[in-house]
Amino acid sequence: MTAHALVVGAGPAGTAAAIRLSASCDVVTMVEARPRDGLKRTGEHLPPAAVTEFAKLGFPDLLAEECHEPSPGVRSLWGSGFAVDKEYFLTLPSSGLNLRRQQFDEALARRAERAGVGVQFGTRLTHLQRDWEGYVATLLGPDGERTIHADLVVDASGRRAVASRHLGATRSRYDQLVGITGRIDRLQPDAEIGRVHVESVEQGWWYGVQFSDGVLLATFMTDVASVQQHAARASGLWFDQVRASRLLAPLARGGHWSGRVDVFDASAQVLEHDAPRGFLAVGDAAAAYDPLSSWGIAKGLRDGTAGAEALIREREGDANAVARHRNAQQRDFETHRARQSDFYRAETRWPTSPFWRSRQGVWQQRSA
Ligand SMILES: Cc1cc2nc3c(=O)[nH]c(=O)nc-3n(C[C@H](O)[C@H](O)[C@H](O)COP(=O)(O)OP(=O)(O)OC[C@H]3O[C@@H](n4cnc5c(N)ncnc54)[C@H](O)[C@@H]3O)c2cc1C
């Protein structure tokens, strides 16, 4: 197919889309704002079903790096004062995986390059508009600003949905969730290595994993308002909460914390957009799920692949292919929201907490 495709964002969704497009388009360019080895990201968890999804989609090699660590299961303290263990050995595959996201992102980039995709790191989309023949994108990279023309554009820029918003799309947000991640190191590895710890508390919930090198990554999920109300903001809130956590305080004991945390937007959101011809948002740019699901990465790979196929079919004459894909994204998001609501409703110990109250009634939607 004689076409130039531009993919914005080199996360799982963008990479999967670029690889699929490279099988059908002359030229595929994928631009990524961060430098190749830049940006620390939180370590992420893949439950066994997500590991299976990688294999089904043809990406098992992306998990081959030895740095990723097997996870035996999840210990959760949610809805009652008792900790419950869910063991993965009863499932197939018999373990999950805790990703080192930086190495995972590098594996994505190498896989895309092998498929013939031109991957440009440190290059940011700063403007996008339609013209008679397709799209004109302005890119700011290490050598300054330049303009390129593309027939097909995939927005895989994550929750910010940058490309879509240049074309007038808005985001409907369902909450103000943020993840505050801190790293405690120099711990003595113990028997709980790799086990995911999930704990609900009055202002939100915890997610923590200890790796074999003695590092505990602990993310506190809470609303923006809780951060704003704490005198010492995100780092103070994180520290106070980790000390009070029943599951994580014992794991963190004796370790060293640098005093810094990273804060990530983790809101559930969906894009409101009638995709113009030749354009589609995929992954978190189209619909971002609550991290409680541990499904964002596998969903990104699946949506990127299926979204690229829809764009190709549309270009080959199936005028409704992209609209059908958009409908499927919307349906999946609604299913996800219903499931998340059930989880949040199971926690009834803090009826006056704004965090839990806002998740136990009808979800309020806001546009941004
Ligand atoms: C705190 C937290 C914990 C999570 N835990 C898990 C978990 O345990 N398991 C799981 O499966 N998922 C988890 N997720 C979700 C998961 O991280 C995302 O769903 C997944 O990364 C989405 O993939 P994506 O490719 O759509 O977007 P991303 O991975 O966000 O990639 C988007 C890329 O676009 C780039 N970009 C942005 N703007 C521009 C621009 N203007 N020009 C060029 N590039 C741009 C960004 O730099 C980024 O690399 C978590 C998320 C959060 C916030």
Q: Are 118 and 251 part of one and the same domain?
A: no
Read off the pTM.
0.96
**Residue whose CA is at the smallest distance from ligand 1 atom 15:** 296
pLDDT class for 189, splitting at 50, 70, 90? confident
Residue 363 pLDDT exceeds 70: no
Residue 41, pLDDT score: 67
Question: Strand order of the sheet with strand 124-131?
Answer: 124-131, 134-141, 144-150
> How far is the centre of ligand 1, averaged over its atoms, from the C-alpha of 349 (Å)?
32
Q: Which atom of ligand 1 is nearest to the CA of 181?
A: 1
Q: pLDDT averaged over the chain?
A: 93
Nearest to 241 by CA among 228, 226, 255: 226
For residue 223, list its beta bridge partners.
177
Q: Which domain holds residue 252?
A: 45-98+176-266
**Atom of ligand 1 minimally distant from the CA of 163:** 41
CA triple 192-187-38, angle to 5 deg: 100
* Residue 121 sits in the same domain as residue 188: no
- Over the stretch 216-232, which tens digit does the pLDDT of each residue have? 999 999 999 999 999 88
SS3 track for 256-277: EEEEEEEEEECCCEEEECCCCC
Atom nearest to 126 CA in ligand 1:
41
Shared-domain flag, residues 6 and 105:
yes
Atom number in ligand 1 closest to CA 45:
8
In a domain, 356, yes or no: no
Distance from the alpha carbon of residue 147 to the mean position of ligand 1, in angstroms: 25
Question: Ligand 1: which residue has its CA nearest to atom 3?
Answer: 291
Integer angstrom CA distances of residue 234 from 214, 227, 238 = 24, 5, 6
**Shared-domain flag, residues 254 and 111:** no
Tell me, yes or no, whether 27 and 116 share the same domain.
yes
Residue type, 185: D
Calculate mean pLDDT across residues 287-291: 96
Examine residue 349 and state whether it is found in any structural domain, yes or no. Answer: no
Whether residue 107 sits in one domain with residue 161: yes
- Tokens, residue 295: 């499904």
* Boundary of a domain, candidates 207, 231, 266: 266
Nearest to 195 by CA among 299, 50, 73: 73
Task: Tell how far the Cα of 265 is from the centroid of ligand 1, in angstroms.
Answer: 10
- Residue 262 domain-assigned (yes or no): yes
Instruction: Examine the fold and report which residue of 244, 266, 288 is the final residue of a domain before the chain moves on.
Output: 266
Per the structure, the count of domains in the chain is 2
State yes or no: cis peptide before 93, omega within 30 of 0.
yes
What's the length of the chain?
368
What one-character DSSP code corresponds to residue 71? E
Task: Give domain status of residue 205, yes or no.
Answer: yes
94 and 118 assigned to the same domain: no
- Name the residue with the closest Cα to ligand 1, atom 27: 158
What's the pLDDT tens digit per position in 7-63? Answer: 999 999 999 999 999 999 999 999 999 999 876 666 799 999 999 999 999 999 999
> Measured between alpha carbons, how far is residue 242 from residues 69, 218, 235, 366 in Å?
23, 8, 11, 30
Of 284, 292, 329, the one to substitute when testing ligand 1's pocket (max ligand atoms within 8 A of C-beta) is 284
Reported as a pLDDT band with limits 50, 70 and 90, residue 367 is very low
- Cα of 152 from ligand 1 centre, angstroms: 22
Instruction: Give CA–CA dist 250/368, Å, rounded.
Output: 40
Are 127 and 223 found together in one domain? no
In a domain, 84, yes or no: yes
Angle between helices 12-22 and 101-114 (to 10 degrees): 10
Is position 359 within any domain?
no
Residues 191 and 74 in one domain: yes
243 and 289: one domain?
A: no
Q: Give the CATH number, domain containing residue 57.
A: 3.30.9.100
Domain termination residue (choose one: 211, 241, 266): 266
Pocket of ligand 1 (CB under 6 A): 8-14, 31-34, 42, 44-45, 124-125, 156-158, 160, 162, 179, 219, 264, 266, 283-285, 291, 294-298, 300
Confirm whether 353 is domain-assigned: no
Taking only the tens place, the pLDDT of each residue in 60-96 is 999 988 889 999 999 999 999 899 999 998 888 888 9
> How, if at all, do strands 152-155 and 279-281 pair?
parallel
Q: Which two three-digit tokens encode residue 260?
A: 């810094």
Which residue, by CA, sits nearest to atom 35 of ligand 1? 9
243 and 310 both lie in a single domain: no
- Are 59 and 192 part of one and the same domain? yes
Q: Are 182 and 209 in contact (CB under 8 A)?
A: no
> What is the 55 CA–ligand 1 centroid distance (Å)?
20
- What spacing in Å lies between the alpha carbon of 58 and ligand 1's midpoint? 20
Domain harbouring 331, CATH code: 3.50.50.60
Give the pLDDT of residue 37.
83
- The rounded Å distance from CA 284 to ligand 1 centre is 7
Sign of the CA dihedral running 86, 88, 89, 92: positive
pLDDT in tens, 311-357: 999 999 999 999 999 999 999 999 999 999 999 999 999 999 999 99
Q: How far is the CA of 158 from the centre of ligand 1 (A)?
A: 5
With respect to residue 351, please indicate whether it lies within any of the assigned structural domains. Answer: no
